Structure formats: C-alpha cells, structure tokens
Structure 1
C-alpha cells in the first residue's frame, strides 16, 4: 500500500494502545516506601483539583470518570509498594468500575466488569485506581484528519500549559492529568508516539516499554505487533516504580512469556545511575528544523556531557519503506484484533446493538455522523476493513520489524559503538484546530523505529519553547528498558533547564 505524506504523517504522530504485572511486586520492597514517602499525593487533593480545573475553570477535559471515595481506598493500603497512590487509567483499558469506551459513543455502555491484568496488578501493589482519562478517539486510528485529544465521549483535552493548544495523543488525558496534578501518575498506551508525544508536549515523563514487558489483555487494540501500555509521571523514578507494578507475565498474552531475565524492580539503583563514560549517539538529522527546539536540545546535550557522557554525532535517514509496511500491519491487525476484542465483551445495556466487528463500528459512525464524525471521518477504518491480504500482511510485518529493529536501531548502536540514541521527542504544542486537524512539525523526533520494532523509548522534560514543554528521548536495544530508565534518571540529575509550571491559561494571552 502506498500512502501519501499527509496520511503517513498524520498517523505516525499519534496512534496508541495497552498492559499486566507479577504478584511478587505486591509485596513491600526494601526502600520503596522511603522513596515515595514525601511524594504521596492524597486522592482527596487530586479529586479537588479535578473538580476545580477539569470539571470547572479551564475545563481541561482530561478525566472522563473518577471515584469520589478514592481516599478511603488509599487510607487502607498500608505499607504496600505503591502505598495507595492515586493513578489514572486511559479509557481504552478495562477497569471493573467504569465503562471502557476508547472515547467512542459506540462503546459508551461497555461495562465489562473486568480489570485488565495491568490494572489488577496495580491494585495488588497498593495503587488506587482514581479514574479514567480522555484520549484521542480509537487511539487516533480512525482518520488522517483527526485532532489529537478529541473524543465523542470526552470532548477535546486541553493542554494545561496552554489551554488553546494541543495535548498530543492518543494518551492525551493521561499526560495532561499528570501535568495538572490530577494524580500521582497515569497509564497511557502507545502504538506509535501516543505515550511519548503526549508526555513531551505536556512536560512530564513518559515511558514506552519493550513490547512484551506489559500484557495487552482487556485493552482495546490496534496492533499486537506494536501496542503496549506504559507509565506517565513527574519523574523517571516514579515512572519506573509504576512500571514495576504493571510489568509481568500473562499466559494469555504469549509475547509476555518471551521476556528474558525479567526484572521485578525497575527503581533499584536509579538514584546511583551514572552516564560517566557512556557513549550516546545524537541523531542529528532528527533534530528537525525548529531552531528553538534545537537550542533547548543543545543545552540538554551539554548537560549529558557534564554528566560524563561521550556524545557521538550520527547522520542517518531511515529506510522509508518501513512506514508503508508498518501501516499495512496496523490496518490488517486493527480489523482482525478489534473484531476479536469486540466479540469478547459482554452484551452492553441499552437498546443499541453491541458492535462485534470493525464493520459494525463503521456502520455506527455512519449512522451517528452528526456526533461521531462532525470534525473528521473514518478513512483509516474504511481502509482497514479492506486490508485483508494475509500474505501481504505477513511480508510487511517481517519487513517492518527487521528494518526498524535490526537495520536501524541495532545497526546504529553497533556501528557507532553507543549504548543509547537521543533526539528531541517532539516540537512544542500546536494550536487546537478541530476543523483542519493536527498541525505538528513532522521533522522532529525519532520515535517510529522504536515503536515499529517494539523497543523501549523514554521521554524526559528538557525545557520549553515560549513556555511550551519539549522533551528529550532516550532509545535503547530491545529489552534494555531498565538501562534506558537509568539513562533518563542520570540525565534528570544534571538537567540545567528550568521546567515550566502549567498556567491553565491560553497561550495566546501571553502575546495579546
């Protein structure tokens, strides 16, 4: 399949999905409580901020539903690993309490009474599920002209740093909620950029783990090849702590059984993490054409050098075939796996027929076009419904994973003898425009190879452009998740840039 630049750029800016954890993490771990003792955010405080800033005031539309009695749950957690910390969950991940909608009216009554394994494991580790967050509807896989952060269920998520600007997607609500102080941390999902872009643009830490570290069961899918859930938090240590509660084997998600030397604790040693003598590849061609972003990135590179890192400039352009092949994979898997998911859910309450296939969703959107398709259509859904050639799909999948992994990330790490690669994550947030859709700078960033190959990708705030946050990305080899987190934690200690606080105002007000 050949795609025009608009379609490719629109998709590879956004899409998203999935998560599980081992019961061993539920036990108190040495040092964990001390690490978070001073960071415990009371659920009552989080709920009050949601009421003041999400339900009223600037109305961020980051949170779709929350439990007003969450503090009572937090109070009884005791000395568990997460100690009752309030956590928000993206609304394509199933929880017992609330419907799981993916932002679509077609699933507004999808109350499955199931916890995704990652949610069950967070509860077992002592985390309190505070509520569900808004997202780009269907994780931004419905149409090329979508606006990130908009869903028919939740409306448009606003960036807390500039409420007239975008929060990226598809994990828009999760990133905005963490930035706004609505929870200690949140869960996002990613197929290609949905955790990392959102985290960067909202000024928080976001981690997309290697595919297989976290189970995808009971999460509305796009692609079993690329989907994964991941943590979003204020610091790398907090994200690592939450990752430990999420990650684990799930016999019903076979890829989780392939993880070599699986860790239980991703926090141990982060405080002592060092970059002294570590060689890091700088992806010069992926810095992009925004001079302000480049200036912030150069400061971050200087910070890495002060931390002792040895920087190696790399000039590289990915093989463009990887994008066409990956897109074919996503469309084929979307049709098949969405159908499997929809057939797994119980019959929904109400007169509407429970959708059981992608074709049913397309029909629902057409029948409810005044609400579902007021701002954009369902072109990707319609292409996916026609993407049925299995042989072509299998060839595309083999090509995409090989090019992105072996021939890109693995090759660059080996050829330049570096441990990590770095680049700016994304440019600053763009103005919201429901009529014309997203307007991001596609020249910035190097996230797609990690997403397509299923490798880890960490973004950490590195500063701001005109008080709009931007992040630095750390990439590593498959299963090097802990090492990538170490690199990010070491960078945090030497970061010299001041990070902006959310203004909850219009960015344009500063220029008027």
Structure 2
C-alpha cells in the first residue's frame, strides 16, 4: 500500500529551488552534528541549504529510487524555520550544537503544523495546537523540525501479529540496507530515515525495544533513557510505567547532543521531577578511551538467541578487553524468565487508561479506545488488511489502575527488573554496566505472518525487556555486519547512568568504527 501523502505537493514544489543553490551544494550523507556546525560556522553552509539538501534526498531516496517509505509527513514550515535560524546566526546568536540542524520526529509526538496520528487513519486529522514539551525543547535548542516518520501503527500495540514498520496511514517502511528486510520496532521510520541520512538525527519512542531494535537493525546508535529523564506529555502513549522518547543517530556524539537537548523536567509529567537534577553535558563526557578501567559484565542469558548476534558479542568482548575494560563473564541477572506475563498485564491496563487521557486532551475525533476499535472495524479494508486489533480488544477489556491484578504486576515488575535484577548484578560484581547482544540481523518483512524475530529461550523476553521494565537506560551501538545487515551490542546500567553508558559506548565506537552507510540492496542472494 502506498498512500497519497499531502507533503508530496510541498516537496515537489521545493525541488526547483534546490537546483538554485550550487554555491552551497553539499553531500549530507553521513554528515554529523559537529561537522555541519563547523561548516555553518565557517560560512560554507547554512541551515536553509542544509534543509533543502535533506528534502532533495528524501525526494530521491524515500519517495523515489529505493522508496524507503520512512517519512509520513513533512513540516511545511521547515525552510521558513531554517531561514529564521540563519538570520540568528548571522546576527551572532547561536543557540547551541543543534542550531540549524534538521531533525525528524516519530509520528506519535505532537508538533505544530503536522498531524500526530500514531500511523492510524483514525487520527489523520489530529493536528495539535501546541508542541509536546520535548519538541518545544528541541525548537528552543535551534533544531529544525523537518517532518514526521512512519512507525508501526500504534507503536506496535494493536496486534500481536503485526508487521513492524507498517501503518494504515504510512504503509510499509523498508530497511535501507536490504530493502525486503524489516526495519524492526515501532520507531521503524526514524531508524530507516536516519540510517539513510534523510536528516541529521531523529527521535524515536520506546516501551520495550522500539528504539533499540530499529537502531540495531539500521546500524544506528539508539538511546533508551532513564524513565523520567524527558517529558512524555504530548506523546501518544502505550504505558506510562515504561514509555520514553529517545535519540537515534549515526554516532554516539550526535545521540548524546540530542539527548542533552531533550532532557529536563516537565510539571505535567510527574515522572520527570528529578530530570533537571540529572541532566548532563553528555557530549563533554565522551572520551576516546572511555572503556579504560570500566567494569562490564556479560549477560550470557541474553545471548544464545541468534548466532550472528552472538558472534558480534564475542568480538565486542575482545574489543572491550583490548581497550582496557575489565570484563566479568558471565554475570547472572536474576528474574529474566519471570517478567513477561507481568509486563503484558501492565501494558494492557495502562494502554487503556493512558490512551484515553491523550485522546481526551487532543484534537482526535475518537475519544476512547472502544471508539477506536469501532472505527477500525468500520474501516477494516484500509486499517486491517494484514492483521487485526487483538491487543486493542484485550486492553479494552482490562480494568482500572486500581485493580489488584495490575497493582501486583506493576510492583513485581519494578522490583524484579530493577533492585533485584539489574541493580543486584551491578552491585555484586562492582560493575559500571552490563553488555548483551542487541538483536540479530533484520528479518524479511512478512505482512501475512508478521515479524520473525529469532528468539532462544521462550521464557526470556528480548534484550530490551529488562531495562524497559526497570525504567533504566540502555544504549545500542553498531557492532558490525553479517550478509550486508547490521548487528549491534547493547550496554545497560542503573537509573540515571547515561553519562557512564555513553562514555562506554563512545569508547567502543571509536575502537571499532563498525558503522557503514546503507547501499539499498534489493534482496540477499544466496
């Protein structure tokens, strides 16, 4: 399905202007924040030219050529916003490292001038009148909001049989490394778009794996921050006990710069009350020798699920040791096989409550989950050609947040994953962080049968489950390739440990330089 998107007219109208900028022509492929800032500081580039270059690349790669289908809508005021920031720069005012840098947002985040739909046609006319606080922070930092990215509809919480990267409004996003492979996770469009250099950096959201998996399968750095480091107000939710936004970028330094701009307290989100106290200059804390002397534990129970991921882990362990890290192998993390049922219970209860709250306060026409279920049934040909809404229906049948079943599941999940899980392992071995493989290489997209994520022990959730349920940070970093597909490794730690994790991730990145740009191969030929 390839829907007609309203931004095409705007995009095509912009193309004649692109050719009129030969003086500042610049190949944005793989360009990072510091390089772009240096060029703008030296007068070799400005934000308008940079924004035009990305628009041209979107037209050539996302809508034509390989047709990644990763962008769901463009900001019609992007060039105007870039011009205003250029005027500020010429007047001597630079807001910070993101000044004039084009950014893409996942299409579940409120941003003025664009719909916020979670990929659903039911919310195609939901046009927020105010920015989410996260977006307001990015604008205040000087970022240009380039547009919105496609996603797994409703952040992959409509059906257990969904195809990641598909939405009724946006169609199927493709993996830029091998086009018939899946981008994974609900932040699929952000992952594919940033991997293909359709913007400098991007924002995803995660409940369990929705930043980390698409980042891993697109050769990106993805950060799932501590729950409460940044506001969730104005973001279409799944579950408030696990939801967070986070950066997706082609380098640790770019992800760190983005994290610094996003972090901070929001009086409308009680979980963020400590965020201001834990904000850091994350870029200043990066060191090329960030691995030296760090104590890192290997979670072997999270390996053994996919052989290519295991090979990446073994190579990463060798790199850690070669760079001066102290590797404790193995480290046992308790409770990995006891979390799945509690997590699903929490998400079903919280989704019904949290989504209803968002719909009530938004411009969306369906105001309840029950109304959305009815809407989908009435528009089944457009919305449910491949899979249904079994998770919607289960969530709608759940009780309120005062239900004992929910309260017991929440208490169990937090205790087992955090204090008795990650924290206990870190304390026992005096560790700075844990390491595990991220995911294996991207699986083929299959709209009929859904996702084919390879797993090992069926009682153990994915590598993202433990930090997701604890509300603790985790970072995935490119670790190499297999058959032309990226694989990654993940570092995780205790609450508010982003500075340590990013320093470790940066040291690993600088030692390996594992990332390579995608080449848009149609398929893998044996």
Asked if structure 1 preserves the Cα contact closer than 8 Å seen for 2:120 and 2:383, the reply is yes
Q: TM-score, normalised by structure 2?
A: 0.86
SS at match of 2:195: helix
In the alignment, what sits opposite 1:73?
81
Residues 68 and 46 of structure 1: CA distance in aligned 2, closer, same or farther (over 3 Å): farther
Asked if structure 2 preserves the Cα contact closer than 8 Å seen for 1:306 and 1:494, the reply is no
Cα distance in 2 for residues equivalent to 1:260 and 1:185? 23
In the alignment, what sits opposite 1:472?
489
In the alignment, what sits opposite 2:505?
488
Structure 1 residue ranges, 4+ long, deviating more than 4 angstroms after superposition: 32-36, 38-41
In the alignment, what sits opposite 1:175?
191
Shift of 1:289: 3.9
Cα distance in 2 for residues equivalent to 1:471 and 1:68? 35
In the alignment, what sits opposite 1:461?
478
Residues 36 and 312 of structure 1: CA distance in aligned 2, closer, same or farther (over 3 Å): farther
Shift of 1:320: 2.8
Asked if 1:58 corresponds to 2:66, the answer is yes
Asked if 1:269 corresponds to 2:285, the answer is yes
Aligned counterpart in structure 2 of residue 92 of structure 1, from 96, 104, 108: 108
Unaligned runs of 5+ in 1: 1-31, 349-353
SS at match of 1:507: coil
Answer 1 or 2: higher relative contact order, Cα 8 Å, separation at least 6.
1
1:303-347 deviations in Å (ceiling 9; x for gaps): 11121101111253634332111111110000011111111113x
Residues 228 and 266 of structure 1: CA distance in aligned 2, closer, same or farther (over 3 Å): same
In the alignment, what sits opposite 2:315?
299
Asked if structure 1 preserves the Cα contact closer than 8 Å seen for 2:264 and 2:275, the reply is no
Asked if 1:141 corresponds to 2:195, the answer is no
1:379-409 deviations in Å (ceiling 9; x for gaps): 1111111110511111110000111111110
Aligned counterpart in structure 2 of residue 323 of structure 1, from 330, 336, 340: 340
In the alignment, what sits opposite 2:19?
none
Asked if structure 1 preserves the Cα contact closer than 8 Å seen for 2:54 and 2:198, the reply is yes
Residues 108 and 403 of structure 1: CA distance in aligned 2, closer, same or farther (over 3 Å): same
Asked if structure 1 preserves the Cα contact closer than 8 Å seen for 2:308 and 2:441, the reply is no
Q: TM-score, normalised by structure 1?
A: 0.89
Asked if structure 2 preserves the Cα contact closer than 8 Å seen for 1:424 and 1:445, the reply is no
* Aligned residue pairs, count: 472
Aligned counterpart in structure 2 of residue 166 of structure 1, from 157, 178, 182: 182
In the alignment, what sits opposite 2:126?
110
SS at match of 1:252: coil
Shift of 1:266: 1.6
Asked if structure 1 preserves the Cα contact closer than 8 Å seen for 2:265 and 2:276, the reply is no
Cα distance in 2 for residues equivalent to 1:206 and 1:69? 28
In the alignment, what sits opposite 1:126?
142
Asked if structure 1 preserves the Cα contact closer than 8 Å seen for 2:151 and 2:165, the reply is yes
Asked if 1:369 corresponds to 2:380, the answer is yes
Aligned counterpart in structure 2 of residue 338 of structure 1, from 355, 358, 380: 355
1:175-200 deviations in Å (ceiling 9; x for gaps): 10000010000000000000000100
The Cα RMSD (Å) is 1.9
Cα distance in 2 for residues equivalent to 1:433 and 1:54? 20
In the alignment, what sits opposite 1:392?
405
Shift of 1:465: 0.9
Residues 37 and 219 of structure 1: CA distance in aligned 2, closer, same or farther (over 3 Å): same
Asked if structure 2 preserves the Cα contact closer than 8 Å seen for 1:205 and 1:460, the reply is yes
Residues 260 and 118 of structure 1: CA distance in aligned 2, closer, same or farther (over 3 Å): closer
SS at match of 1:423: strand
Asked if 1:235 corresponds to 2:251, the answer is yes
Asked if structure 2 preserves the Cα contact closer than 8 Å seen for 1:74 and 1:83, the reply is no
Shift of 1:278: 1.3
Residues 34 and 145 of structure 1: CA distance in aligned 2, closer, same or farther (over 3 Å): closer
Cα distance in 1 for residues equivalent to 2:106 and 2:513? 32
Cα distance in 2 for residues equivalent to 1:382 and 1:406? 33
Aligned counterpart in structure 2 of residue 187 of structure 1, from 177, 189, 203: 203
Cα distance in 1 for residues equivalent to 2:153 and 2:313? 32
Deviates more, 1:438-447 or 1:107-116: 438-447
SS at match of 2:287: helix
Residues 264 and 146 of structure 1: CA distance in aligned 2, closer, same or farther (over 3 Å): same
Cα distance in 2 for residues equivalent to 1:266 and 1:415? 27
Deviates more, 1:35-44 or 1:445-454: 35-44
Shift of 1:355: 0.6
In the alignment, what sits opposite 1:382?
393
Cα distance in 2 for residues equivalent to 1:261 and 1:129? 27
1:21-68 deviations in Å (ceiling 9; x for gaps): xxxxxxxxxxx9867524878111111110011111121110011136
Cα distance in 2 for residues equivalent to 1:71 and 1:99? 18
Deviates more, 1:40-49 or 1:373-382: 40-49
Shift of 1:258: 2.9
1:135-163 deviations in Å (ceiling 9; x for gaps): 00000011110000000000000000011
Cα distance in 2 for residues equivalent to 1:300 and 1:43? 36
1:432-489 deviations in Å (ceiling 9; x for gaps): 1000000011239522110011000100101011110011100011111121111111
Cα distance in 2 for residues equivalent to 1:38 and 1:462? 28
Cα distance in 1 for residues equivalent to 2:407 and 2:508? 39
In the alignment, what sits opposite 1:37?
37
